[in-house]
Amino acid sequence: MSWYTFVGALEQGFIFGLMSLGVYLTFRVLDFPDLSVDGSLPLGAAVCAAIITGGGDPYLSAGAAFLAGVLAGAFTGIISTKLRILNLLAGILTMIALYSINIRIMGAPNLSLLNQPTVFDRFQGLGIQGFAVPMAVVLVILIVLKICLDLFLQTRFGLAVRATGDNPAMVKAQGVNTDNTIIVGVSLSNGLVALSGALLAQAQGSADVGMGVGTIIAGLAAVIIGEAFVGGRSVFVATIGVILGSVVYRLVVAAALSFRFGPLSLAPSDLNLITALLVIVALTFPRVREKLKSRAFR
């Protein structure tokens, strides 16, 4: 793996790290498996691309993408809590609805951002290698938002959100409206995912309605790999784990892509298999660790 490819894997790991923080918030904190992310990632890209190609500011477009994601998440949260649609299904409904909406927003299934201004332009030539700029910029955004998320989860409301995932009955007994905690949690989550989509479109030079395929898998993989590394301790540590997981996931994909070892070489079609195996290993790893630990104490 070349240095360039390595930096690229970091860049993608950080961009998808934002998305993975969103998935962590729903999947782990709220215990709400939210599949709308496969639609809200391209939603963010679509909003961002439509604004930039329309002559808008790239920073503004990223902010608008975040808000669009919040709206999409709110929709999932509302139809799930108020209309009592099963959470898994609510996410799927939002996801398929967004497919049509995303094409509407862009006016086409694919919008090119090649030769358009991006949020990365301003930081070119500030002492970092040109191709590493997006990676560095995304890392800063990621750290800031990670800290914001950590702080949010420490607030009174944030604690109620966390408690909703752990024990909704207890939270209700305390007089907290779990519908609200779920709606806000899912909204924030999708805002992060859409922002990640906006940055991805700017880094990759285009927005495509098909770019959301596999988002939830990558997000879950990041969360689970992260837990395998750091374990599920405090929120502060867990969110570091999520980011780490996202980076490791991208490094493994990059490694799989450059894997060539004589007759052992992988076929291009093996990639999905490797991804699935990686997630399974990460899923079973904590359990194996527990077993080994309990044996050591005997």
Spatial separation of the C-alpha atoms in residues 286 and 99, rounded to whole Å:
36
Shortest reach from residue 94's CB to another protein, in Å:
15
Q: Which two tokens stand for residue 188?
A: 């924030």
Nearer to another protein, 67 or 257 (CB): 257
The 10 Å Cβ neighbour count of residue 118 is: 22
Which of 185/245 has CB closer to another protein?
245
* Contacting residues toward another protein, per CB under 8 A: 1-6, 8-9, 12, 16, 96, 99-100, 103, 108-110, 112-115, 131, 200, 203-206, 208-211, 213-214, 218, 228-229, 248, 250-255, 257-261, 268-269, 271-272, 285, 288-289, 292-293
* Bridge partner residues of 207 (DSSP): 111
Least distance from another protein to the Cβ atom of residue 190, Å:
18
Q: How far is the CB of 183 from another protein (least distance, A)?
A: 28
45 or 176: CB nearest another protein? 45
Token duo for residue 180: 């609200």
Burial class of residue 79 in the structure, from the number of CB atoms within 10 Å of its CB (0-12 exposed, 13-18 middle, 19+ buried):
middle
By C-beta, is 82 or 232 nearer to another protein? 232
Considering the complex, what minimum distance in angstroms separates the CB of residue 67 from another protein? 23
Least distance in angstroms from the C-beta of 6 to another protein: 8
Please say which residue, 33 or 205, places its beta carbon nearer to another protein.
205
DSSP element (H, E) containing 266: none
Contacts of 209 (CB under 8 A, 6+ apart): 42, 46, 99, 102, 103, 106, 109, 110
Do residues 94 and 195 touch, judged by C-beta distance below 8 A? no
Quick check: 260 and 238 in contact, CB under 8 A? no
Q: Considering beta carbons, is residue 169 or 297 the nearer one to another protein?
A: 297
CA distance 142 to 122: 18
What is the rounded distance in angstroms from the CA atom of residue 149 to the CA atom of residue 112? 32
Beta carbon of residue 40, minimum distance to another protein (angstroms, whole number): 15
